[in-house]
Amino acid sequence: MAPDRNAERLEPPNPAGPSEPSAASRYAAEIVRGAALERDMRRRDASLSVARGAVFLIGVVAVIGAVTATLPGWSVIPPLLVFLAVAGWHEWIIDQRRVAAARRGVFERHAARLARDGAALPPARLELPREWAATADDLDLSGAGPFFQWLSSARTALGRETLARWLFAVPDLATIERRQACVARLARESAWRDALALAGEQLDHRDAAPAMFVDWATGPQWLARRAWMKWIARGMAVTFPTLGLLAWTGWLAPSSALAAAAIAWLVNTAISVAYSGSIHEIFQEISSESDEVRHYLAMLRVASMLPGDVGPVPNGDSDLRDVAREGIVRLTSLRRALILTRARHDTILAIVHIALQLFVLWEVHLLDRLERWQRRWGSRSPRWFAVIGELEALASLATVAFEQPDWVFPELRDDAREIRAEAIGHPLLPDSMRVANDLVIGPTDRCLLVTGSNMSGKSTLLRSVGVNILLANAGGVVCAARMVLPRCEPATSMHVRDSLTDHVSRFLAELRRLKEIVDRATEARRARRPFVFLLDEVLQGTNSRERRIAVAHVLRRLLSEGAIGAISTHDLELGADPELAKAFTMVHFRETITVEGETRRMTFDYRLRDGLCPTTNALVLLEWVGLGSARHVGTAKDDGPPLR
């Protein structure tokens, strides 16, 4: 059962590097530093509030003195200048106080993740495609599942969606190896990861902004369907100057020039009345979305400053840094163009704006400029925001690599026909609680049968395999001393539930889930790709005899399709099936019951052993929870003292 110890071993990397402090000590020091900085900024904030008020009162006295002629008029200027200086300083202090609080929050979440304190972590809001939902639920990724909540340090929907896609979509080996290299390098860049997290802290409630902006940038253009309006606006830009020049030089009579100007003015007025409302709505939409997107510029700036020694971080055929720099330049130029559209909201500039509109259709020119930007750069905008998602996903994986220097990058092989793991454990369990085990799942004609009594560790073992496969797909480190596996996506059946509204019993729901898994195994065989199944106590909704027959039938189907996998069960007789027994690699967990006087204690060591489980504990647990002695249940024997 144990893996081949003589096989070539993957040396555990040291992503943190020799000069990096441990994650726990670094986080603790940063939290203390952040709290001290916050206290200092709070004290300065209070002092400057008093100073600001005092200078304001002095200014009021100076104004009164100047009005009553008791003070010279210039006496108002010094208090005004001092007030402006103090106010600017105060606003800067307030901003620094917010930054200090946000930075402390970042490190508090890092510390909570390191301690596996899920209650202190923010919920990982995540919507998954239907085809991933069942496995995500089984492995605690769906909704605010603890695994994804622990794994993801992304503060934007872009980052969370990218990380989830990496976990479930199985890329080619070159992509996985490239991600592993990036994760290993970014694990040593703690300061850069902190800057990215701090920039993302400002975006927690702006998840929809990039999608809405990209919809506009890549969508249809309003003026493109009204080309005549652009030509009229361009003509009006030269009409009035031309009429004035012709009248001044005598080529046209002044009365004729005025008549022509009046006609042009009426045309502009008619177009303005008919279309200005629609144009204003477009300006408002673009301006609103751009205001939201400007917050993402901070993350793009962090992306563009990724240290050069990290090496290339590809985004298609470009480095992520180059894509980020392009996004910064183009989004900044768009924001400059939008400044002119806001003039109509200014009390003084609105008059100029209206005059230009009536004479040269100014708003059409502005919209044309925005749509020229849209035509030239809009199709590239998805790449700019994809950079943020990819870097947040990489930073999440790199943070785990930094925090867990004893974990390793798995070795994925296209020719692998089994999963071999040494000292594999569940990432959510702290080091002090985790019990790691060696295991082999496969080859294609073998199935790992995990037996054991209640609470002994069967389900945790299967989930450990599942989540580590997902981490391997994403390019991250795995919670193991060594892991070799094929590229695969785990198919699971663990948390199947009945449905009252759909009139579906638990047994029928489980059968449907197993049918999906068998169908996927068939598709994988036809596509010649490995397929892995993980089944935990399936078909509990029927009697033991029919359950055993049904489970045996499903396993035969899966093995006939060339799938590899593991199944946990309480049904020890399943291993006695003559046909399946040849295909089973049997392992088990067990409990130990000790007697001390009148007290019996049950303990688990969570160590995986060869063979079928020789013990059971269901009737002992019956007594343990206070439902009476097991000796009164059926023919069970129980000559021992009560369980305490």
Q: What is the pLDDT of residue 74?
A: 84
Question: Tokens 């946990």 label which residue?
Answer: 568
Average pLDDT taken over every residue of the chain:
81
What 317-325 contacts at long range (C-beta under 8 Å, 24+ apart), as own/partner pairs, is 318/383, 320/387, 320/390, 320/391, 323/383, 323/384, 323/386, 323/387, 324/300, 324/384, 324/387
Q: What is the pLDDT of residue 438?
A: 92
pLDDT at 358 exceeding the cut of 90? no
- If asked whether residues 378 and 499 sit together in one domain, one would say no
Domain count, the chain: 3
Q: Is the separation of the CB atoms in 552 and 576 below 8 Å?
A: no
The tokens of 301 are what? 């700036």
pLDDT at 237 exceeding the cut of 90? no
- If asked whether residues 540 and 510 sit together in one domain, one would say yes
d(CA 95, CA 91): 6
CA distances from 508 to 496, 501, 515, 519, 536 (A): 10, 14, 10, 16, 16
d(CA 225, CA 549): 66
- If asked whether residues 384 and 464 sit together in one domain, one would say no
CA neighbor of 406 nearest in space, from 1, 8, 9, 14: 14
Question: What band does 65 get if pLDDT is binned at 50, 70 and 90?
Answer: confident
Question: What band does 230 get if pLDDT is binned at 50, 70 and 90?
Answer: confident
| Cα dihedral 31, 33, 36, 41 in deg (nearest 10) | -100
pLDDT tens column, 585-596: 888 888 777 766
> Considering the domain boundaries, does residue 588 fall inside one?
yes
> Considering the domain boundaries, does residue 373 fall inside one?
yes
Question: What band does 632 get if pLDDT is binned at 50, 70 and 90?
Answer: very low
> Considering the domain boundaries, does residue 640 fall inside one?
no
Q: Which domain range does residue 108 map to?
A: 1-114
> Considering the domain boundaries, does residue 151 fall inside one?
no
> Considering the domain boundaries, does residue 145 fall inside one?
no
pLDDT tens column, 85-113: 988 899 988 888 888 888 888 898 888 88
Section 270-274 average pLDDT = 85
d(CA 198, CA 250): 67
Q: What is the pLDDT of residue 99?
A: 85
Q: What is the pLDDT of residue 615?
A: 63
Question: Tokens 């593991």 label which residue?
Answer: 566
pLDDT tens column, 479-501: 999 999 999 888 988 876 655 55
Of 114, 147, 172, which residue is a domain's last?
114
- Find the CATH number of the domain harbouring 497: 3.40.50.300
Q: Which runs of consecutive H residues, i.e. helices, occur in 561-598? A: 578-581
- If asked whether residues 434 and 555 sit together in one domain, one would say yes
State the pTM of this model.
0.81
Section 133-145 average pLDDT = 74
Question: What band does 522 get if pLDDT is binned at 50, 70 and 90?
Answer: very high
Pairing of strands 532-536, 591-596: unpaired
Q: What is the pLDDT of residue 15?
A: 46
C-alpha torsion sign, points 5, 9, 14, 18: positive
Question: What band does 248 get if pLDDT is binned at 50, 70 and 90?
Answer: confident
pLDDT tens column, 41-58: 899 989 989 998 998 899
pLDDT tens column, 379-394: 888 888 888 889 999 9
> Considering the domain boundaries, does residue 548 fall inside one?
yes
> Considering the domain boundaries, does residue 187 fall inside one?
no
Section 558-565 average pLDDT = 90
- If asked whether residues 426 and 325 sit together in one domain, one would say no
d(CA 132, CA 491): 9
Q: Is 238 exposed, middle or buried (0-12, 13-18, 19+ CB in 10 A)?
A: exposed
